[in-house]
Structure 1
C-alpha cells in the first residue's frame, strides 16, 4: 500500500463484509488483523473483496514483505525523479506565458510555449501520478474515496481543461498546476513511506530465523529438522548456548537455563524432569531431553507476537483525526467546485471561465499541506534525534511521548547490565583478596555462566581454558583439575557435599564459594551491575514531575534492592511479572496516565507495544526493538531527551494541521467566487506547503531548546 488512505479503504471495505466482526489494517506493516465468524465467511471470500481494491490478501514469507517494501520505495523514488526533472521543464515555458502581459514575450509565442508546457508535463501526469489515479478510482468505485480520489479529480480537471483551451487556440493552461500537485504529493508519500514502513520488519525477521532453525531429534539418529517441520510429541535435544525453537517439557536430564528472554529473571534457573521450557529460553549448560508441546504457530512466542501485531494496528489520535478530515474533505471540495461552476454560470461567465473557476477550487483545496503536516515533522525530527542516538520507529511517537506522565522501567538488562559486578571479596585467613579473585577467574575461564562473565569483566589476566581438566555440575558448580591440584567453584552446599568444611550460612543472592585441594578459600559476593546512567535519569524524570515505576520478572527481593538504590518507592515496584502480567499492568496504568515503558527483552514485547510509547534500549532483543516506537542506540539519558523533544514536535504538528485547515477554510470561498485563478491556486497551494515546511524546520533551529520544558 502507498498511503494511509489505502489502508483506511481496505479496512472500511473489510468491516462491511458479512461475518466480519472486526478488522484493523496497518499501513506501516502492510498487514490486516481480522476476526470473523467462520460459519459466514472465510479467507477466500475476504481475499476476493480485497482484490477488488487492487490488493492481495495472502500470507507472505517475511523476506517477501521486505522485498515488497523496497520495491514500493524504489518506484516512488523513480516517479518523484521523473516529476522533478520534467516538472522543471514544464515550469519554464509556463513562466514565460505568465510574463507575456508584461511584454517580455511576443503574443504569438504564447500558444507554442503553452503547448511545450503540456508536452513536458505529459510524463509527470501519465507516469508519476499513475498510482494516484488507480487508487483513487478503486476507492471511489468501492464507495470509500480518500485523498487519492481528490488528487485524481484535480489532475484530470487541470489536464482536460488545458487540452480544451489549447484546441481553442488559447494559451492559458494549467499543466504546471497538475505537475506541482503530483510532485508535492509524491514528496509527502515518500517521506511517509521511508519512516513508517519499518514498523514490523524485525518481527518478521525474528520469526523467520526462529522458525527455520534446525532442531536435533532425540530418536537415536541425530537427525536435524527445521523447527516448523516438527510436530507436538516429538522428542528433541536442545543445544547449549542456542535459544530454544519450540515449547516443551523436560523428560530427562538436568541443566541451567536462562529464562530472561521470556520472564526477565536475571539468574539462570536449574531445570529437571517435568519442568516447562519455552521457545526463546537459552540452555546455558547441561544435557536435556525435551518433548515438544507446541509447534510453530502455537508457541508462547507466537501468541505474544500476534498480540504485538494487534497492538501495533491501533491508531493514534492525530492519525484518526487526519482520517476523518480526509473523509470529509473530498465531498466538501467536490460540492464546492460544483457550487463555483454554478455561481459562475449564474453570473453570466462563459463555460470555460466557469470550469476554470471549478478547477481553481479543486487545486487550491488539494491537501498537500495536510499530507505534509505530520510526515515533515517526523522526518525532520527523525534526522535530529538520530544524531542523538535515538531512532524513531513509529511516527506516532512524537505525538504520544509529549503527554507522558508515567515512566515504567524493566529491570534486568535495562536498569542493570547483563554482567554482575563484585560486591565483596571475603577470603579465608591465609588468602588475599587478589589471590582469591585470580583463582576464581582461572577456575571459571570459558564458562558461559553470568558470574563467569562478571569475573571476566574485571580485566584480570587468566589462564587459557585449555589448561587443566574442567567439568561442570549443572546448577551447582565447576571442578577444575590442574596437575595435582583440585579447585572447586560453586554453591556453598555443593562444596560441603564434596567434603569442604564451610562455617558460613547458606547462600543469599549471587555468591561464588572457592576451595583448593579440599581447603575452603573464601567467597565472592556479586550484585547486579547498575546502568551508570540509571540513577541520574530517574532523578531527572522525578524532578520533572514524572512518576517512575519498576516492573520486573525478577524476584521481589532483587527488585526491591535495586528500587531502594534508585529511590523508587516500594509501592511502585512490581516483581515476578510474566509478559502477560506486564501487559495487564501497563494497560491498567495507561487508562489513567499516558505511560512510557522502557525494556530490552522478548518478555517486554507486549508491554512495549501496549504502552503509550515503548522505548527499547541498545542491547534489546530484535522483537523488543520491533515492538517499541523508539530505539536508543546511545545511553538511557535518551529517554528524557525524547520526551522533551516530543513536546516541541507535537506542538509543531498541531500548528501544521491548524495552518492546513485554516488555509483551506480561507481559500475555498475565494476560489468559489472566482477571485483565485487556477494558476494562482497552484501557487497558493505550494505556498501553503512551504509554510508547513518552514514551520517544521524550526525544530532544528535551537540545539538546546528541547532540553527545557519551559522552552
Structure 2
C-alpha cells in the first residue's frame, strides 16, 4: 500500500463480503477482519489479491535479528511485485537527484541554456521518467486494471504527460533545433515553437520519492512493540526429565513439563515452582518494584528474571495462553485501529485524485472545443496534473516528524509518529504508572531505625542513645555484599555511598533461602532478614522497631531486620523512592489542564503513599495489565482523551490502547515500542516538555496540511484557465514542498516554555471527571 486510497480500496473489497467488517491500517500494513466462521481465511486473502495487493495471515513477530534482512516498512512496490529494500530505495532516490538537478537548473535559468541544452536535458530526464518513476507507473497500472485511482495515478500521469509532450516538442514541434532557448514565463505560449516540460517530468518523481522515503523512515518503528515483546520471552528452556537436562525451544514445552531456571535467566513460561527458593524480578512484567520471594508452590510468570537461586518450575501455560502472549495480543489489537486523522485522509484521498483527473480531462476538452491551439489545451491539462501533484501532501507529516524527533532527542523526548500529534490536542487525562515513572524503579534504602531507647536517626546519622544507625547499616552491608538478592544489593550500595569507612569482611556466610542471610562480622554474628517472625528471627520486637515495621507495611515498603548476636539492632526500610522532580512534573501537568490518575501493579498502601505525596486523588492499585488497559478503555468511553505514562511490559497494552502513550526509556522495550512518545532523560519534568513539543509539532503538521490543500485550491483553478504553464506549475509545486519543509525545520530551534509560563488549569472540570470529583468531596 502506498497511500490512503489503497487502504480504501482494500476495505471496500473486504467489506463487500457478507458478514465481514474490516479495518486496514496503512502504517502497520495490517488488516483486522471480523468474519463468519464459515468464511475461510483463504477467501479473504484472495479478495485482497483481487484488489491488486498481496496478503498473508499475520504471524507472531520474529526477533529483531531475523528481520534485519527483510524490507523496511513503507517501501515501494517493485516491478516484480516484491518490495524494495531500504538500500534500493535510497539508490533510486540518489540517482534521481543526480539526474534531476541539472535538468531543473537549465530549464528554470534561461541565462544558463547553452547550445543543444534541451537534448542534454532529454537524455537526463528519460531514465528519471521511466526508471525512477517506475514504481508509480506500476501501481497506477494496477489501479487502472481494478478501476481505481490513487495518488500514484496522479504522479504517473503527470510524469508521462510532461515527458510525452516534451518528446513531441523536441522531435516534431521545433523545440529540438540548435540554439533554442526557453524563457521562464508566467503565461503559456499560444503559438510558435512548442516548449519542453522536462523539468516537470524530473521534479515530480524527485519530490515524491523524497516524501515517501521520509514517510517510510517515520513509520519504521511501528512494529517495534511486538518485536520487543517477542524478545522479552525466553527462547529456550532447560528441561529436566529422567535425570537428564537438555535445552529445548520454548515452543516445544508442554503443560506439565519441568524446566530449570538458573540465576540470571528468565522464566521460560507461566508455571508453578516445584523446588528451590529465589527472588524474582517482576518489574518488567507486572510493574512490581519489590522482588517477589518464590518457593515451592509459588506461581511464576514467563519473562520474570531470576535474581537468586536455582528454581525447578512445572509449566502451567504455554504458547498463546501465557500472560506475555496475552499482553502481545492486546498491543497488536490496539495498534491495528485507526485514528480520526487517518480516516479523514482516507476520505480526502478517495475524492482528491479522481477530482483532479476529471478537472484535467475537462480542461483539455474545453480548450479544444473552444478552438484553442492544441499546444495551449495540452499545456493547460498538463499544468493541472503537475500543479496538483501531491508532493506537499506527502511531505507535510514526515518532515515535521523528522524535525520534531531531532529536536526532541536533544531535549530527551522521542516522538514516534503522527498518532501522538493527532491525539494530544484534546488530551485531558494522564494515567501515570508508579514504578519507574514517578519513582526511580530501583530498590533503595529509605531510612534506618535503631533500638536506642527512644532516639534514632535516618540515613545513617549518629544516634543520641546507644544505637548507631551507621554501624548497624555497615554490619548489614558486610553480610549482604555476599548475596545477589536485590534487597542485598540496595543495602550494600547505600552503605558504600554513605559510609567513609570500607565495609568489613564477612566470614562463615550462610544464606537463608527466602528469609535472609547471616555471617560473622567484626566478631559479631550478624543476621539480616525478614521481620515476619520466621525461623531464626525473633518473633517479638522492641516497640520502636515494631513501629518501624508497621510503618513500612502501611506504606507498602520492605522492612529488613538486622540482629547482632541474636539481639534486634535495627530495621532498615527499603522502597522505590520518588523521583526528585515528580511533584513539580505532576503540578505542571495540572497547569496544562491535564487530570492525573495513578494506576500501578503495586500494593494499595504503596500506591496511596505516593499519590498522597504528589496530590493525586484518583488511585488504582494492584491492577493487572489487562485491568490497566480496561481502565484506559473505560476512561475513553466516558468521554476522556487519555494519555498513559509507563515503563514496564505491563504498561504496553495500556500505552497502545490510549489516545497517547508515553514511555520512560529506562523501562521495557515493549513499552517504548507501544508508546507514541519516549522520555530518554532521567528527569520526569521532560514529560510536560513532551506535551509542549508534541502540541507544537501537531500545530506544524496542521499548518503544513492547510498550506498543501490551500495551495491546490488556488493553483488548480489558475492552471485550468490557462494562467500557469507546466514549467511554472512545477516551480510552484517545488516551492510548496520547500515551504512545507521550511516550516517543519522551525521545530529544530523550538525551546520548551519555563514552568511558570504554563497555562493555568481550567476552573471547570471536564464532564467525564465529575463523578470522581464528587467522590473526593
Q: Does 1:551 align with 2:599?
A: yes
Match of 1:231 among 220, 243, 254: 254
Contact 1:14 1:50 in 2 (8 A): no
Match of 1:486 among 519, 525, 530: 525
Q: Does 1:282 align with 2:305?
A: yes
Contact 1:365 1:664 in 2 (8 A): yes
Deviations, residues 487-541 of structure 1 (Å, cap 9, x unaligned): 2111233466446863344653421111123222222223431111211101111
Match of 1:695 among 743, 749, 759: 743
Partner of 1:639: 687
Deviations, residues 410-459 of structure 1 (Å, cap 9, x unaligned): 00111112333333322234441111010111111143433223223321
Matched residue SS, 2:616: coil
Q: CA deviation at 1:318?
A: 2.4
> What TM-score, normalized to structure 2?
0.84
Q: CA deviation at 1:321?
A: 2.0
Matched residue SS, 2:440: coil
Partner of 1:456: 492
**Residues in 2 aligned to 1:642 and 1:209: alpha-carbon distance in whole angstroms:** 27
Q: CA deviation at 1:309?
A: 1.6
Q: Does 1:576 align with 2:622?
A: yes
With 419-428 and 189-198 compared, the bigger mean Cα shift is at 419-428
Q: CA deviation at 1:560?
A: 0.5
Contact 1:418 1:450 in 2 (8 A): no
Structure 1, gaps ≥5 residues long: none
Q: CA deviation at 1:183?
A: 0.8
Match of 2:700 among 652, 657, 662: 652
Contact 1:51 1:57 in 2 (8 A): no
CA spacing shift, 1:3–1:349, aligned 2, 3 Å: same
**Residues in 2 aligned to 1:349 and 1:486: alpha-carbon distance in whole angstroms:** 107
Q: Does 1:468 align with 2:507?
A: yes
Matched residue SS, 2:262: coil
Partner of 1:264: 287
Contact 1:580 1:606 in 2 (8 A): yes
Partner of 1:94: 107
**Residues in 2 aligned to 1:364 and 1:647: alpha-carbon distance in whole angstroms:** 31
Partner of 1:85: 98
Partner of 1:162: 166
Q: CA deviation at 1:467?
A: 4.9
> What TM-score, normalized to structure 1?
0.91
**Residues in 1 aligned to 2:26 and 2:393: alpha-carbon distance in whole angstroms:** 20
Aligned length: 699
With 302-311 and 399-408 compared, the bigger mean Cα shift is at 399-408
With 11-20 and 438-447 compared, the bigger mean Cα shift is at 11-20
**Residues in 1 aligned to 2:322 and 2:349: alpha-carbon distance in whole angstroms:** 41
Q: CA deviation at 1:105?
A: 6.3
Where does 1:115-514 land on structure 2 (aligned, <5 Å)? 115-171=119-175, 172-208=195-231, 210=233, 212-429=235-452, 430-458=466-494, 459-460=497-498, 467-481=506-520, 485-494=524-533, 497-498=536-537, 502-504=541-543, 505=546, 508=553, 509-514=557-562
Contact 2:271 2:317 in 1 (8 A): yes
CA spacing shift, 1:387–1:499, aligned 2, 3 Å: closer
Contact 2:197 2:726 in 1 (8 A): yes
**Residues in 1 aligned to 2:624 and 2:569: alpha-carbon distance in whole angstroms:** 39
CA spacing shift, 1:44–1:105, aligned 2, 3 Å: closer
Matched residue SS, 1:285: coil
Q: CA deviation at 1:710?
A: 6.9
Deviations, residues 122-159 of structure 1 (Å, cap 9, x unaligned): 22222222212222322343344321121111111112
**Residues in 2 aligned to 1:340 and 1:316: alpha-carbon distance in whole angstroms:** 36
CA spacing shift, 1:403–1:49, aligned 2, 3 Å: closer
Matched residue SS, 1:68: coil
CA spacing shift, 1:233–1:242, aligned 2, 3 Å: same
Where does 1:505-654 land on structure 2 (aligned, <5 Å)? 505=546, 508=553, 509-569=557-617, 572-591=618-637, 592-634=639-681, 635-654=683-702
CA spacing shift, 1:485–1:351, aligned 2, 3 Å: same
Matched residue SS, 2:717: helix
Structure 2, gaps ≥5 residues long: 73-83, 176-194, 453-465, 761-777
Contact 1:214 1:225 in 2 (8 A): yes
Q: CA deviation at 1:582?
A: 0.5
Q: CA deviation at 1:54?
A: 4.9
